[in-house]
Chain A
């Protein structure tokens, strides 16, 4: 409710600005698979490490057009999260400024719907950076993979409670997991899962 109101407000304020096109309704069947690597799992405190966005169109994951930006090492980059995404402070020395990264990201995703696993977390992460800098949240519609999967599974296999973990879903959908815990790999895997979920049947 509040989010909806906020979006109306954002559109009112920025609809005529340089980012006005983001607020237009999306046409076409193209979506963007999105994934962030962060320093933690709390979207209020964690900081962004890298972001990847991969276009998915016409049954293809266009990984060649992938946007994969790494940000400068945030202060909270510590041992625990490095163990997961394997990006050390040195790896991020050539990372972008947050401002540049977000501009690239907005250009890449445009007004297309965002697809991801626990996409709300990723969007919330980005919004936390976006609002102070640009003054608005990501207006894009989001497609939550696990919800989509749950819905489809209810048709395909009504008697089984679906396992919504990332790896379990990939396995059930027969998608090879690429480079887990890199933004780019997870985004591509999410894109593939999205494609698999567009089918009318699940063949095993």
Chain B
């Protein structure tokens, strides 16, 4: 009866005997919309599994409008914590008519005792659950993309020489083309000569350098076809103990696949992209290299790389792209000016390309008559590389976002003066400024002024932090969303309050880091936040970015979604992901309350 649920997490952790006990031990109950299934601070006799409908979790002590803590939809388990703790912390109310399985408390407790994994599941914290999600993902769907790569994705051009060529010619050709093997066509079939073959022939068999290649060539080729799977090429290499296979199409050699190519294809491709960016000597080459960044992100995520490392790597690579473009476009004698990036790029948290939010800080005595023209060229160059323009015109070519240090410092004071208006927005943007090229001391001078002006001014800080409360945490939308194209806005509802709250606290504590995760670390060091809460916030932040990224990647893959940017549909998440998201949003709610106390935003 409960079959369907039994195969889902966490019941999949149970063994067969426990499952059959569960199967025989459950009751079923209907709850009408509005029924209170389990009241706050009452003991629970059952653990509930939702089969149909949805159930809201309410905090009775919370002020009006903010009581909803979470929603449980089909397949979710609730009341387990209540059974383990003896009484329920929240009130559970049926949102729609719901059919629930009731697992008696006694049975549930014995199951927890007998199955350690199952019991542990209900006592895990957010961090631990996140790790599991990562573990599960490693064997996940995106990995399939790698396993399904075809041979033609990674073969190289064959080097085919005339039959009459000598060993000497072969060595020259190998050196010249930087390859490991040559092919010759001999009596209507191909033969291969590798570096090892050459060494053996010359040193061990004492052949002369003028010997014809056909004498030493290996005619028994290991071949694959271009449409074969790459991993099957790999298995053939392993089986025949060779380091390369020849790609044949209709009896014609079209390529060679080297073992090292396959391995580097399967491992991270990040260093390749990095190299390409460094090697780029023109804007066009840079453009090509930077176009490969999304592919890299995709690959990294498929390998289960942790979100924070992927973000750091991406930020570094994006910074290099900007830096290179800066060096190429700007005149060489003006390069000591400081190019800053702001917004998500400044925090190093953008994943796929985001708007260009950048500005320019000049030295106090730097004369640059051609600045407007050069700045315009730089902006256009970034545009052509696929960085869309900033809708708020926070760009180098805008005179408001360029100028010498002193002017910037005046600006900071000016913005701080009109705290109720656009000034705070500009301060917010500037707080994330990060130097990607030029002299970083210029930025530090501006940042010092920013800290001096803002961190002590409680009124200004209250204005600064207020937007945290601007968007409601989308907890009450779960499960009860009617139309799938709606979804919840993960950026406004979850990511923004978290990032901005951390930013405000960092500004108050004069923390010069720009990345949210590093800011959290510094805040803990400064004693402004307890370590466990900061860790949880970090995990929540990673989760949100990951959900957002998955959606962006889906769009990048060309999947048509009717969703707006940053919207995710809760119903389409797995039950574990939903669980995590709920916990994480809960955390954001907590954080918002703390912030509103700290910055006195209650009124």
Write the residues of chain A forming the contact surface with B, with a CB cutoff of 8 angstroms.
59-66, 174-176, 178-179, 184-185, 188, 191-192, 195-196, 199, 203
Q: Are A61 and B52 in contact (CB under 8 A)?
A: no
Q: Min CB distance, A173 to chain B, in Å?
A: 10
Q: Are A192 and B1 in contact (CB under 8 A)?
A: no
Q: Min CB distance, B186 to chain A, in Å?
A: 67
In the complex, chain B residues whose CB is within 8 Å of the CB of A179: 1, 3
Return the chain A residue nearest B31 by Cβ: A59
Q: Min CB distance, B513 to chain A, in Å?
A: 53
Q: Min CB distance, A186 to chain B, in Å?
A: 11
Residues from 27 to 60 in B contacting A, C-beta threshold 8 Å: 27-33, 51-52
Q: A60-B102, A64-B104, A176-B99 are in contact. Are A192 and B24 (CB under 8 A)?
A: no
Q: How far is the CA of A66 from the CA of B27 in the complex (A)?
A: 9
Q: How far is the CA of A174 from the CA of B30 in the complex (A)?
A: 11
In the complex, chain A residues whose CB is within 8 Å of the CB of B31: 59
Q: How far is the CA of A195 from the CA of B31 in the complex (A)?
A: 10
Is B26 an interface position by the 8 A CB rule? yes
In the complex, chain B residues whose CB is within 8 Å of the CB of A174: 52, 97
In the complex, chain A residues whose CB is within 8 Å of the CB of B28: 60-61, 63, 188, 191-192
Q: Min CB distance, A74 to chain B, in Å?
A: 26
In this complex, the member of A64, A174, A179, A203 whose beta carbon has the largest number of chain B beta carbons within 10 angstroms is: A64
Is B25 an interface position by the 8 A CB rule? yes
Q: Min CB distance, A56 to chain B, in Å?
A: 9
Return the chain A residue nearest B30 by Cβ: A195
In the complex, chain B residues whose CB is within 8 Å of the CB of A175: 99
Q: Mark B80-105, 1 if CB is under 8 A from A, else 0.
A: 00000000000000000101001010
Q: A63-B1, A178-B1, A179-B1 are in contact. Are A203 and B97 (CB under 8 A)?
A: yes
Q: Min CB distance, B107 to chain A, in Å?
A: 8
8 A-B pairs in the complex with CB atoms less than 8 angstroms apart: A59-B30, A60-B29, A63-B1, A63-B26, A64-B27, A176-B52, A188-B1, A192-B99
Write the residues of chain B forming the contact surface with A, with a CB cutoff of 8 angstroms.
1, 3, 24-33, 51-52, 97, 99, 102, 104
Q: How far is the CA of A176 from the CA of B26 in the complex (A)?
A: 16
Which one, B1, B32, B104, contacts A185 given CB within 8 A?
B1
Q: How far is the CA of A199 from the CA of B102 in the complex (A)?
A: 21
Q: A176-B52, A203-B97 are in contact. Are A64 and B25 (CB under 8 A)?
A: yes
Q: Are B99 and A64 in contact (CB under 8 A)?
A: no
In the complex, chain B residues whose CB is within 8 Å of the CB of A59: 29-31
Q: How far is the CA of A59 from the CA of B97 in the complex (A)?
A: 13
Return the chain A residue nearest B33 by Cβ: A203
Q: Min CB distance, B139 to chain A, in Å?
A: 31
In the complex, chain A residues whose CB is within 8 Å of the CB of B30: 59, 192, 195-196
From DSSP, what is the main secondary structure of chain A's interface residues? mixed
Return the chain B residue nearest A201 by Cβ: B32
In the complex, chain A residues whose CB is within 8 Å of the CB of B104: 64
* Shortest Cβ-Cβ A-B pairs, 7 listed: A61-B28, A60-B29, A178-B1, A64-B25, A62-B27, A195-B30, A64-B27
* A-B contacts at CB below 8 angstroms, number: 44
Q: How far is the CA of A61 from the CA of B99 in the complex (A)?
A: 11
Return the chain B residue nearest A179 by Cβ: B1
In the complex, chain A residues whose CB is within 8 Å of the CB of B1: 63, 178-179, 184-185, 188
Return the chain A residue nearest B22 by Cβ: A64
Q: How far is the CA of A195 from the CA of B364 in the complex (A)?
A: 81
Return the chain B residue nearest A185 by Cβ: B1
Q: Are A61 and B24 in contact (CB under 8 A)?
A: no
Q: How far is the CA of A191 from the CA of B1 in the complex (A)?
A: 13
In the complex, chain A residues whose CB is within 8 Å of the CB of B51: 176
Q: Are A61 and B29 in contact (CB under 8 A)?
A: yes
In this complex, the member of A62, A63, A195 whose beta carbon has the largest number of chain B beta carbons within 10 angstroms is: A63
Return the chain B residue nearest A184 by Cβ: B1
Q: Min CB distance, A195 to chain B, in Å?
A: 5
Q: How far is the CA of A63 from the CA of B97 in the complex (A)?
A: 20
Q: Min CB distance, A156 to chain B, in Å?
A: 15
Q: A178-B1, A188-B1 are in contact. Are A64 and B29 (CB under 8 A)?
A: no
Interface contacts beyond A59-B31, A64-B25: sample of 8 additional A-B pairs, CB < 8 Å, sorted by A: A60-B28, A63-B1, A63-B26, A63-B28, A64-B24, A66-B24, A192-B28, A196-B30
In the complex, chain A residues whose CB is within 8 Å of the CB of B33: 203
In the complex, chain B residues whose CB is within 8 Å of the CB of A185: 1
Q: How far is the CA of A184 from the CA of B23 in the complex (A)?
A: 12
Return the chain B residue nearest A178 by Cβ: B1
Q: How far is the CA of A43 from the CA of B99 in the complex (A)?
A: 34
In the complex, chain B residues whose CB is within 8 Å of the CB of A184: 1
Q: How far is the CA of A66 from the CA of B28 in the complex (A)?
A: 11
Return the chain A residue nearest B46 by Cβ: A60
Return the chain B residue nearest A65 by Cβ: B27
Q: How far is the CA of A174 from the CA of B24 in the complex (A)?
A: 23
Q: How far is the CA of A176 from the CA of B27 in the complex (A)?
A: 14
Q: How far is the CA of A61 from the CA of B27 in the complex (A)?
A: 6
In this complex, the member of B31, B33, B51, B99 whose beta carbon has the largest number of chain A beta carbons within 10 angstroms is: B99
Q: Min CB distance, B195 to chain A, in Å?
A: 67
Q: Are B99 and A60 in contact (CB under 8 A)?
A: no
Return the chain B residue nearest A199 by Cβ: B32
In the complex, chain A residues whose CB is within 8 Å of the CB of B102: 60
Q: How far is the CA of A184 from the CA of B24 in the complex (A)?
A: 11
In the complex, chain A residues whose CB is within 8 Å of the CB of B27: 60-65
Return the chain B residue nearest A62 by Cβ: B27
Q: How far is the CA of A81 from the CA of B338 in the complex (A)?
A: 85
Q: How far is the CA of A4 from the CA of B102 in the complex (A)?
A: 40
In the complex, chain A residues whose CB is within 8 Å of the CB of B3: 179
Return the chain A residue nearest B107 by Cβ: A64
Return the chain A residue nearest B104 by Cβ: A64
Q: How far is the CA of A179 from the CA of B28 in the complex (A)?
A: 14
Q: How far is the CA of A59 from the CA of B99 in the complex (A)?
A: 11
Q: How far is the CA of A199 from the CA of B32 in the complex (A)?
A: 9
Q: Are B26 and A64 in contact (CB under 8 A)?
A: yes
Q: Min CB distance, B252 to chain A, in Å?
A: 59
Q: Min CB distance, A115 to chain B, in Å?
A: 14
Q: How far is the CA of A175 from the CA of B26 in the complex (A)?
A: 17
In the complex, chain B residues whose CB is within 8 Å of the CB of A176: 51-52, 99
Q: Min CB distance, B79 to chain A, in Å?
A: 15
Q: Min CB distance, B433 to chain A, in Å?
A: 56
In this complex, the member of B24, B27, B29, B33 whose beta carbon has the largest number of chain A beta carbons within 10 angstroms is: B27
Q: How far is the CA of A192 from the CA of B3 in the complex (A)?
A: 17
